[in-house]
Amino acid sequence: MAKLFSGLIENCYDSHVHWLGTGQFASRIRLHELRNPERDLPLLSISPTQKNRPWLVGFGWDQNLFMDDDSAGAANKKFPTHETLDRYFADKPVYFLRIDGHAAWVNRRALELAGLWRKNPEVPAGGAILLKADGYPTGVVLDHALQLFEKLLPKASAIQVKADLLEAQNIFLRAGFTHIRDMSCDDLQWAAACELEAQGQLNLAVEQFFSADDPITFDEQLRKAVAHRAERAHTPQALLQVAGVKVYLDGALGSEGAWLSQAYQTSQSSALANAANFGLQLLTPEALQDFIEKAWLKEMPIAIHTIGDEAAHCAVTSALKIREQKGLNGVLHLEHAELLRPETIALMPRLKVTCHMQPCHFLSDRRWLKEKLGPLARHAFQWRALEQSSVNIAMGSDSPIEPPSLQRNIDAVALAADEGLLAPQTSISKCHAHPNHQWAPKTRTRFEDGAAAEVWFRGDKII
């Protein structure tokens, strides 16, 4: 294991978080300890408040941790099904998000409410609805199909959003992070966060990305980002800053939605079992190029969620095309960039690009990377190759997918090095320092034995 970190970090920065999601995390049913759904579902801890809501909403299951209940406790690793949920929750709709937030496990009631309880239901572009042999849904849906359920969930009130943002602020500060880059802003959150800042309750410097979770909303999100950036143009010291727009180009590896150049070696869907699965491509190159051009015309940075190697390659070649054909050279952020082929990295120095990596994902993904990806696994976590090509790297947690933690990233890079993935030469603590020292000056965190011991924010000691 790596040494526990002790030392000072100025402007300690988590470069990829979901701020509101981190706060909401506490109000959702925790599924992280599910090992055998049949056995464990009745034992879930569900509070009276959670039980009284119109939907049961949970977060954190991972089929890679499932075990059969035979004496050997053999690995199961199969996606769960609606039948298991129906046995315990027949009347109330259930929406259980996978640990990566890219897959949901739902019961029959939820499928009925979403209009999906039928043979071969229509699949939204960029999504997947896994089907049984009889053509009915298994109860697991991926990526853009999640929105069919999200839109049915009760909307959070402005008061609740503010409470959740403050809850998350405490989580980040206790972990030592004073600067965050938040990837999922929308209008409601922006208004709530502005109120917190005006009331002096904000003790975090926040870079906000307006997220077009559904690509149809891209123009709208870009327009909002541009308008809110203009409002803040005269207050460079403000703690909330618009930093860009975000789009999704693929899903995630754990749910086999990350877009790969070679098919997954494993398969989770019986309907897909006979077809090679390359993951999900959520945008055509033409649509992506259109988004990049529109953002750069407004001098707005664009962040692209890319986990698979083919997604990253498509993002980089699309940006290069806009640069070469339109003469624009804006800021590009690649989110996660977990799999990168050498030819993709070779193109990056021609762009103003930063890769936002979360080493902590290695701690869980290492268990199945080779099994799922085969030869593609050698392209995972290319921090050293990026550094050698002088590509900017920033590091973070993807909270609430992983807890915000400097030490976990240090441990992950060290463990990866033990398994043959060269560590970057830059220290991991440097990859966690926000470069702009004029923004929230006199802010620093003192770590002792891996934990945040003291935090100063704009000169005040707050922890």
CB nearer to Zn ion: pick between 111 and 193: 193
Rg (CA), the chain: 22
Min. distance of Cβ 168 from Zn ion in angstroms? 14
CB nearer to Zn ion: pick between 2 and 212: 212
Contacts with Zn ion by CB under 5 A: the residue count is: 1
CB nearer to Zn ion: pick between 147 and 427: 147
Angle of helix 158-174 relative to helix 187-198, nearest 10 degrees, comes to 70
CB nearer to Zn ion: pick between 333 and 384: 333
- For 436, half-sphere exposure in the C-beta direction (CA atoms, 13 angstrom radius) is 13
Min. distance of Cβ 183 from Zn ion in angstroms? 5
Residues of span 383-402 touching Zn ion by CB under 5 A? 398
Min. distance of Cβ 29 from Zn ion in angstroms? 21
Distance between CA atoms of 271 and 268, rounded to whole angstroms? 9
Helix (H) or strand (E) holding 188: helix 187-198
* 42 preceded by a cis bond (ω within 30 of 0): no
CB nearer to Zn ion: pick between 102 and 313: 102
Min. distance of Cβ 252 from Zn ion in angstroms? 9
Min. distance of Cβ 67 from Zn ion in angstroms? 28
Residues of span 395-454 touching Zn ion by CB under 5 A? 398
- For 130, half-sphere exposure in the C-beta direction (CA atoms, 13 angstrom radius) is 26
Q: Does residue number 256 form part of the binding site for Zn ion (CB under 5 A)?
A: no
CB nearer to Zn ion: pick between 338 and 398: 398
Tokens of 112: 């009925």
Q: How far does Cα 417 stand from its chain's mean position?
A: 24
Q: Please give the full DSSP string across 357-389, using - where no structure is assigned.
A: E-THHHHHHTTTHHHHHGGGGGGB--HHHHHHT
Mask of contacts with Zn ion, 270-309, x by CB under 5 A? Answer: ----------------------------------------
189's CB contacts (< 8 A; 6+ apart) are 19, 20, 161, 165
117 burial level (CB within 10 Å; 0-12, 13-18, 19+):
middle
Angle of helix 187-198 relative to helix 218-231, nearest 10 degrees, comes to 20
Query: Which residue's Cβ lies closest to Zn ion?
Result: 398
Min. distance of Cβ 16 from Zn ion in angstroms? 6
Min. distance of Cβ 221 from Zn ion in angstroms? 16
Q: Does residue number 338 form part of the binding site for Zn ion (CB under 5 A)?
A: no
Mask of contacts with Zn ion, 194-233, x by CB under 5 A? Answer: ----------------------------------------
- For 168, half-sphere exposure in the C-beta direction (CA atoms, 13 angstrom radius) is 31
CB nearer to Zn ion: pick between 66 and 362: 362
Min. distance of Cβ 21 from Zn ion in angstroms? 8
Residues that bind Zn ion in the complex, under the rule CB under 5 A: 398
